[in-house]
A and B are shown apart, each in its own frame.
Chain A
């Protein structure tokens, strides 16, 4: 099946700094990618929908100035957590929609820890 990668898999940063997470579709092009956040023992919560070449659409309650999403190419979307705080510590997961397979494919996730 199609593969979606995320980089890094784990990152630790200091409070107040910014961190960028990359999501790549390795063997297909994705005009639409999604970013989710998962808290321990809880479900994945959709943060935003990322469309190639246009602004991301954020879910209610998600700060767009804090979670910057850029989808500059058909194979890459990035999520930048700006001025990170400990409460931003979480597991961030992306998915990419394949129009060929008509299915979402998920990345393995990125564990962010803010100290």
Chain B
């Protein structure tokens, strides 16, 4: 079946540091890949997505590239801010649209200190 593996956390960085959060997946076919972010006390929000190989999703300074050869979708940001402190989930879906049942990784907590 489908699965998503995220690097172990938590991660603590200083403001303006470079961020990489690793995510690898197992799936048949060509799934869509997602990064969701959950800020304290709020629901998950879509951060970015990619629907086919070599696509790069980007939003709010975050980027992730769909690498089919390495089955990875690592999240990066060049300079993190305190406001980026949150829990980040990598996810995949075999379909798009209303049937897009998501398989999530365990999530990783990012804390950014001033």
Q: Which residues of A contact B (CB under 8 A)?
A: 1, 4, 31-32, 34, 36, 41-46, 49, 93, 95, 97, 99, 102-109
Closest residue of chain A to B46, judged by CB?
A: A103
Closest 3 CB pairs of A and B: A106-B43, A106-B44, A43-B104
How far apart are the CA atoms of A49 and B100 in the complex, in Å? 10
Within 8 A of A (CB), among B38-79: 41-46
Q: Which residues of B contact A44 (CB under 8 A)?
A: 44, 89, 102, 104
18 intermolecular pairs with C-beta atoms under 8 Å apart: A4-B43, A31-B98, A32-B98, A42-B106, A43-B89, A43-B104, A44-B44, A45-B104, A46-B103, A93-B43, A99-B98, A102-B96, A103-B46, A104-B46, A104-B102, A106-B43, A106-B45, A108-B42
Q: A45-B104, A104-B102, A106-B36 given; name 12 further pairs at CB < 8 Å.
A: A4-B43, A32-B99, A43-B104, A43-B105, A95-B44, A97-B97, A97-B100, A104-B46, A104-B100, A105-B43, A107-B43, A108-B41
Q: Which residues of A contact B105 (CB under 8 A)?
A: 43
Closest residue of chain B to A34, judged by CB?
A: B101
How far apart are the CA atoms of A41 and B109 in the complex, in Å? 10
Q: Which residues of B contact A (CB under 8 A)?
A: 4, 36, 41-46, 89, 96-107
How far apart are the CA atoms of A103 and B100 in the complex, in Å? 9
Closest residue of chain A to B97, judged by CB?
A: A102
How far apart are the CA atoms of A97 and B16 in the complex, in Å? 35
Closest residue of chain A to B9, judged by CB?
A: A41
CB of A17, distance to nearest CB on chain B (Å): 26
